[in-house]
Amino acid sequence: MICLVGFMGAGKSTALAELRDKGLRTADTDRLIEEEAGRSIPEIFDAGGEEGFREIEQRVVLAALADASIDALALGGGAVSNPALREAMSSPAHTVVWLDIDEGAAWRRVSRSDRPLAQDEEAFRRLFAERLPLYAAVSDAILPAVAFRIWERALEPVRMLDRLPAGTRMHWAAGSNGDYPVYVGRGLLTGPLFEGDGPVMPGDGRSFGFTDDSVGPIYADRVRGLEETVSVPPGETAKSVSQAEDSLRQMARLGVTRSDRLVAIGGGVVGDLAGFCAATYQRGIPYVQVPTTLVAQVDSAYGGKTGVDLPEGKNYVGAFHLPSAVVTDVDTLATLPEGELKAGLAEVVKTALLAGGDLWRQVRDLEPGEIASRADLVFDCARYKCGVVAADERDHGLRAALNLGHTVGHAIEAVTGYSRYRHGEAVALGLLAALRLSDAEDLRNELREWNIRHGLPVSLEPEVDPDEVLRAVQFDKKRTSKGVGFVLLKKPGEPRTDCLVEAGKVRASVEELNK
């Protein structure tokens, strides 16, 4: 049974209508409650208050959850507040889908209704904040509440959760240029997600793997249905125009057609390079991201940014090309070298700094070595990234916040030939510089101690020339005619983008890393 949960105004009734059109047998617990009580919900509230309503709700919803004749059930917005109902929803027989809506949109939708709990805006917003973590806790899948006819595309990917290992979660990444499912869990590589005729794999052709010489021998054979595999050298130096040409020619020799798809198995380099090749090969073929590094699992696999580096700067050549799906199997972190795992933590803490709130609190308290067992944190980071991308898919504004720490970090990578520092290590240093530029001294000191605790660098190696780093900063790909705009952050959850900073202050922030 698909159980729809979400706050008032999330569109559960509309979703039920779409599912009914798909042939599912549906029921709405609000209507069932009114039938049992013989009166409307406002009348139930008038007669017995919220407590009286909740008593009826528990009885009716428990019966509906046990009714095998119902394929899809819409629950009232407050049902998740009841521990007994949350326990019943956790049954393997149920797939709980949270229709996620933002607070402002929800209020605009219901503020003029007769809903008893939508008569006072301040109380409404408090209730929204109280229920938000409950929806997150019970959900197996998260879909945007306002996406048009989303069940035309999402029904079969949601149903796929029934065939995947327990604990797998799905987030539906949506934007103006397309949408796709993101699965995060354990044991996904060898499962049914890669079936050529299944609901997740795009196109009606063959699957071709795209990996590197380190990851391929470990994981490429585990992904079912790959016709052939393109492999590239490991490391950032493979993200070049010459390697892209070589890979495209390999694809041509293998006979890849426009109806086929690429399956990118590897870290950020593989994902960026495979995506770029997919975007440009025969003017575009679909591809699926299978991230195997922490950096890719929490950040780079999502959003459709693809590209390669030039000697003058990182990611100078590229294209926007959304993946058709992302399959994140956190079990792959077990084979990740310790240095790579530590480096990936820089993207985790960057995401937490941007998100603030509960995600920042969880990451701030993260113990060394714990991340490999925290599929929940990987999922939350991925979900945050997808949310930012959905709001600014073409990178014209809000998405620039994801560049926190990357302006100086990319410069460090460039001047050291993309070989001395892992991407995450350079970002860890870039974050310290960004917080110095933000005049966030206490937060910078906290992050410095966090880096030390997790084995990330806090200073540049002596042979790295700060002047070279400063020159490389001027080649940042986000530079405009006004200059280089930095992402600044005074406190977690409150980034500011496109901030021009005086040259002396930038120099001081970089020179500080050399001490």
pLDDT tens digits for range 332-382: 999 999 999 999 999 999 999 999 999 999 999 999 999 999 999 999 999
pLDDT tens digits for range 438-455: 999 999 999 999 999 999
Output b/e per residue, 51-79; b: 16+ Cβ within 10 A: eebbebbbebbeebbeeeebebbbbbbbb
Span 94-101, average pLDDT = 97
Question: Is residue 138 pLDDT above 80, yes or no?
Answer: yes
Span 387-403, average pLDDT = 78
| Band (57; pLDDT cuts 50, 70, 90) | very high
Span 203-223, average pLDDT = 94
Q: What is the pLDDT of residue 312?
A: 80
pTM of the entire structure? 0.92
Question: Is residue 390 pLDDT above 90, yes or no?
Answer: no
pLDDT tens digits for range 164-184: 999 999 999 987 788 999 999
- Decide: helix, strand or coil at residue 192: helix
pLDDT tens digits for range 151-162: 999 999 999 999
Helix 441-453, helix 338-355: angle, nearest 10: 150
| Band (266; pLDDT cuts 50, 70, 90) | very high
| DSSP code at position 172 | E
Question: Is residue 264 pLDDT above 90, yes or no?
Answer: yes
Question: Is residue 394 pLDDT above 80, yes or no?
Answer: no
Question: Which residues lie closer than 8 Å to 3 by C-beta, 6 or more apart?
Answer: 65, 72, 73, 75, 89, 94, 95, 96, 97
Q: What is the pLDDT of residue 107?
A: 94
Q: What are phi and psi of 394, to 5 degrees?
A: -95, 10
Q: Sort strands 207-212 and 226-232 into parallel, antiparallel or unpaired.
A: parallel
Span 19-32, average pLDDT = 96
Residue corresponding to tokens 């077990």 = 334
Q: What are phi and psi of 302, to 5 degrees?
A: -110, 145
Q: What is the pLDDT of residue 477?
A: 65
Q: What is the pLDDT of residue 191?
A: 87
Cα separations in angstroms, 310 against 19, 132, 255, 301: 48, 44, 29, 21
Distance CA 444, CA 299 (A): 22
Q: What is the pLDDT of residue 177?
A: 81
Q: What is the pLDDT of residue 398?
A: 73
Q: What is the pLDDT of residue 396?
A: 59
Q: Is 264 left (phi over 0), alpha (psi -120 to 50) or beta?
A: beta
| Band (428; pLDDT cuts 50, 70, 90) | very high
Q: What is the pLDDT of residue 68?
A: 95
Q: What is the pLDDT of residue 160?
A: 96
Edge-to-edge strands, sheet with 207-212: 26-28, 72-74, 2-5, 95-100, 141-144, 169-175, 178-185, 325-329, 287-291, 261-266, 207-212, 226-232
Distance CA 427, CA 410 (A): 7
Q: What is the pLDDT of residue 397?
A: 66
Q: What is the pLDDT of residue 418?
A: 83
Question: Which residues lie closer than 8 Å to 303 by C-beta, 6 or more apart?
Answer: 173, 322, 385, 386, 389, 393, 399
Residues of the chain with pLDDT > 90, as a percent, come to: 81
Distance CA 65, CA 506 (A): 59
Beta-carbon-side half-sphere exposure of residue 20 (alpha carbons within 13 Å): 11
Distance CA 92, CA 274 (A): 36
Beta-carbon-side half-sphere exposure of residue 75 (alpha carbons within 13 Å): 35
Mean pLDDT over the full length of the chain: 93
